[in-house]
Amino acid sequence: MDKFQKMPKIAKVKNKAPAEQKISDPTELKDYQQRKRKFFEDNLRKNRMVVSNWIKYAQWEESQKEIQRARSIWERAIDNDHMNITIWLKYAEMEMKNRQVNHARNLWNRAVTILPRVNQFWYKYLYMEEMLENIEGARHVFERWMEWQPEEQAWLTYIKFELRYKEVEKARGVFERFVMVHPEVKNWIKFANFEENNGFTANARAVYERAVEFFGQEYMSEKLFLAFARFEENRKEHARARAIYKYALDNLPQSSCKDIYRAYTIHEKKFGDRVDIENAIISKRKLQYEQELSENPTNYDIWFDYIRLLENNEDEKIIRETYERAIANIPPTQEKSFWRRYIYLWINYALYEEMKAQDEERTREIYRTCLQVIPHKKFTFSKIWILYAQFEIRCKNLKTARKFLGMAIGMCPRDKIFRQYIELEIQLRDFDRCRIIYQKFLENSPENCTTWIKFAELETLLGDLARVRAIFELALQQPRLDMPELLWKAYIDFEITHGEDEMVKTLYERLLEKTVHFKVWISYAKFLIKIGNDPGNVRKIFDRANASLRSAGDNDSRVLLLEAWRDFEKEHGNAESQAQIMEKMPRCVKVRQKVVTEAGHERWQEVFNYIFPEDDNYRPNSKLLSAAKNWKKNKEVDST
């Protein structure tokens, strides 16, 4: 092993490029060329389908100034794979690079004859002819290409070619053939723009008119009419533009007239009568809404839009008829989710009659009819009851409002209705009626702590403290409460506010019989500190809390409690008490525990745990303890 370790490491030799071979003799050059040709021919015999072998071979012959040999290799490559575009392009590039124009032209002729759908050949061929300033030859190539009816870009390239040489008539002839080969709206618009840009306004208008006739009623397009109308606007022929817009609106389907409507409105705002266009648009929108509602009469969003349109433009009679038609479409199922939008139709109807029509009797009739339509045994809408009561109050019919709120409580006791009724009576300063409603409210939902607290707050404002305590005591006796912690806190805060310290202590002791949460203990201790109680009593509370949490096994809460105790001792204790609490503080250790994942696999993870000195599981280092015991035992043996 030592020998191998002492052996020097062998350095890796990088592959160097072969040294350049200098040829100074014709015989040596001929020998070199023969070897290279043999090498290339061998590669071709191995695999004739690898295009790169042909390209490298031909380019090498070209580099040796053997153009005829290179041309022969390219021809062999074409015979091998005449569909390969790269071979044709490289071959033609060689001919053009060596200024063999006729050879290049013949090659391009062969290429576009064999592969007429390869646009790249045509573009290269045309570029060469145009660079040679053979304009007639380029035009002849374009005509040959157009016979194949290529894609749109090829036609547009031909048109640009003619425009570069100021041949507008020839370009127009190409456009005429183009729109017949590719009869699309955008191409007709390009044709018209071509005529307009070259100053032939009458021709441009004739192109648009021909396009409208060409597409007819069946294939009529919104884009064509928009372009035609804008053309007339630019020519300041506003009457023509208006006629085009109207023709489009009358003949196009409603679903495809959005841009026409928008453009027509803008045109009329600029150059025409705004009232007429608004009336036209409103009538079209009304027709559209009617069509949609005939397909789906329970689409209440469409009803809202339709009614909003009518409210701004129609008389009361038509608006009422539309509202009646809308509310007649009752949801097909008695599920509340389907009724939510429907109910707002009634609400809007009632608000319209009250605010705009100012018809109180009709408003009252709408509310009462709506309450009859709603299936209250399955579900109800508190908003309707409340809105009707508020309407009667605005009409100064307080007795009717109370009557219907009472009916609502009897038929469908909802928290929202109770609270609204109570708020009404508080504003009217009828507190005896408020107490009655609160009693009904609590009989209906005795577990609602918020209602108990609000009831107690009302009695507190009225100054009846005995009644407040009776309410809190009655609330605490309920077998089930949704948020009991809020109820206890409100009761304790009430007694603290009124200076009943002994009562507060009693409440804390009663609460600790039901829960041992560390926040309750800390709150109890802070209360004793606040009223100036002896620190010894506060320590007893902390000690009781520590023992309670220790028996419950809640280590996290116990740590928070001890931290609060430590803060108390820093502020109110002495050195001895501070040392005692520090002895109780736990030690945080990292332990590994087995965890079972959802997939049923077991894995170990590290968690932090607390070890308390006063607990049974607190043990010092076992090795150190055993060593100390052995040392003490040996010492006793030596002394004997």
pLDDT of residue 150: 92
Alpha-carbon distances, residue 443 vs 133, 315, 459 (angstroms): 103, 50, 18
Give the chain's domain count.
2
Whether 253 maps to a domain, the answer reads yes
Whether 539 maps to a domain, the answer reads no
User: CB of 242 within 8 A of CB of 272?
Assistant: yes
Alpha-carbon distances, residue 243 vs 114, 240, 247, 282 (angstroms): 53, 5, 6, 19
pTM of the model: 0.50
Q: Give the Cα separation of 115 and 125 in Å (integer).
A: 13
Q: Tell me: the pLDDT tens digits for 433-488?
A: 888 888 887 787 788 788 888 878 888 888 888 888 888 878 888 778 778 888 77
User: CB of 610 within 8 A of CB of 559?
Assistant: yes
pLDDT of residue 18: 54
E strand or H helix at 307? helix 300-313
pLDDT of residue 633: 66
pLDDT of residue 7: 42
Whether 459 maps to a domain, the answer reads no
> Cα(first)–Cα(last) distance of the chain, in Å?
59
Whether 618 maps to a domain, the answer reads yes
Q: Among the residues of 445-517, which ranges form H helices? A: 449-462, 465-476, 484-497, 501-514
Domain-ending residue, one of 241, 270, 295: 295
pLDDT of residue 457: 81
CA atoms lying within 13 Å on the CB side of residue 168 = 8
Whether 87 maps to a domain, the answer reads no
pLDDT of residue 258: 72
According to DSSP, the residues that pair with 244 across neighbouring strands are none
Alpha-carbon distances, residue 103 vs 37, 99, 107, 116, 319 (angstroms): 24, 9, 6, 19, 84
pLDDT of residue 565: 74
Phi (first) and psi of residue 331, to 5 degrees: -55, 140
Q: Give the Cα separation of 614 and 596 in Å (integer).
A: 31
Whether 145 maps to a domain, the answer reads no
pLDDT of residue 2: 43
Whether 289 maps to a domain, the answer reads yes
Q: Give the Cα separation of 10 and 71 in Å (integer).
A: 50
The helix/strand/coil state of 413 is: coil
Low-confidence ranges of the chain (pLDDT < 50): 1-14, 618, 620-622, 625
pLDDT of residue 589: 66
Whether 426 maps to a domain, the answer reads no
Q: Tell me: the pLDDT tens digits for 344-377?
A: 889 888 998 888 888 889 988 988 888 888 888 7
Phi (first) and psi of residue 335, to 5 degrees: -120, 135
Burial label for 119, CB within 10 Å (0-12, 13-18, 19+), is: middle
Domain-ending residue, one of 246, 269, 295: 295
Crossing angle (nearest 10°) for helices 85-97 and 51-63: 10
pLDDT of residue 1: 39
Domain-ending residue, one of 295, 317, 351: 295
The boundaries of the domain holding residue 264 are 220-295
